[in-house]
Copies of this chain bind each other. A is one copy, B any other.
Amino acid sequence: MLPGAGADRGAADYALVGAPLDASTSFRPGARFGPRRVRQFGQQFDDYDHRTDQHFTDCSVYDHGDIGPTADVAEYLTFLQGTLSDFDSEGAVPLLVGGEHTVSVAGVRALDPDVFVCLDAHLDLRESYAGDEYSHATVTRHALSVADEAMVLGARTGSETEWDRANEDDVTVVPPEDVADWTPGFDDQQVYLSVDIDAADPGFAPGTGTPEPFGLEPRELHDVVRAVAPHAVGFDVVEVNDRDDGQTATLAAKLLRAFVFAHADQR
């Protein structure tokens, strides 16, 4: 259980679900240990958040535990989507902890947002990767089957085809150097916020599957999470693995909490 996430399911405003999928990681595997690491490195934080004057234990977060992957990824996503939809129906905002980025597909399908906002080094706009239509590199593409538009903040790499796709009207790419100045303008749109931890520079998040230099600073991720949270109907943080000294999971756990504090603050 994530420390402080002791709410009962029935009464919860937020529902944390671990999704340790680790099937398509192309370089360094270990995303399956993400939920475990995030819970472990989320235990040393103060319960109190000075910025919003709230306690995490008062935010009514329920930890549902992990939903273990099966060999058929499509089936797994369907099952995961079902669980997240249930939480949505029950009035609890899902907090999904990956696992590889692919799990966001379940989140987006369950919550049907208007906008998919993603912090990511990668465009993830492929149709498939290495013959796999559910590769982590296809997430934003899948999201656009559901959402009207996608915004990828911190993106700095992709295939030529992905960049072409990113030029279309329904995709906004904010390169790392412009993220600090980015502000959301969502009006009444419902947003799904996905944090691929590789958006951060590898100096801050080396424990991830496909690290990409020249990324965001932690405070930039923090600012985006807090700015987007009030508009969000769902959240995930993904691509944390166990191949570092804990920096990555510490950052991920903190961003998850920052989401909850900022979201709860505007309820």
Contacts and interface: CB of A to CB of B under 8 A. Distances in A.
Contact of A24 (B71, B201, B209, B245): B71
A48 B123 CA distance: 12
Contact of A157 (B50, B53, B131): B50
Given A44-B210, A214-B219, A247 B157 contact: no
A263 interface: no
A169 interface: no
Contacts of A203: 201, 203-205, 218, 247
Contacts of A28: 44, 246
A156 to B, nearest CB: 8
Interface residues of A, number: 63
A48 B211 contact: no
Nearest to A54: B160
Contacts of A72: 131
A170 interface: no
Interface string A36-48: 1000110111111
Contact of A44 (B43, B70, B211): B211
Contacts of A41: 211
Given A70-B130, A218-B203, A29 B27 contact: no
User: Is the contact region of chain A dominated by helix, strand, or loop, or is it mixed?
Assistant: loop
Contacts of A27: 43-44
Contacts of A160: 48, 53, 55
A29 B29 contact: yes
A154 interface: no
A218 to B, nearest CB: 5
A122 B131 CA distance: 31
A55 to B, nearest CB: 7
Given A36-B40, A158-B48, A218 B214 contact: yes
A167 to B, nearest CB: 11
A46 B211 contact: no
A173 to B, nearest CB: 9
Nearest to A70: B131
Given A29-B32, A160-B55, A131 B71 contact: yes
Nearest to A1: B65
A244 interface: yes
A205 B250 CA distance: 12
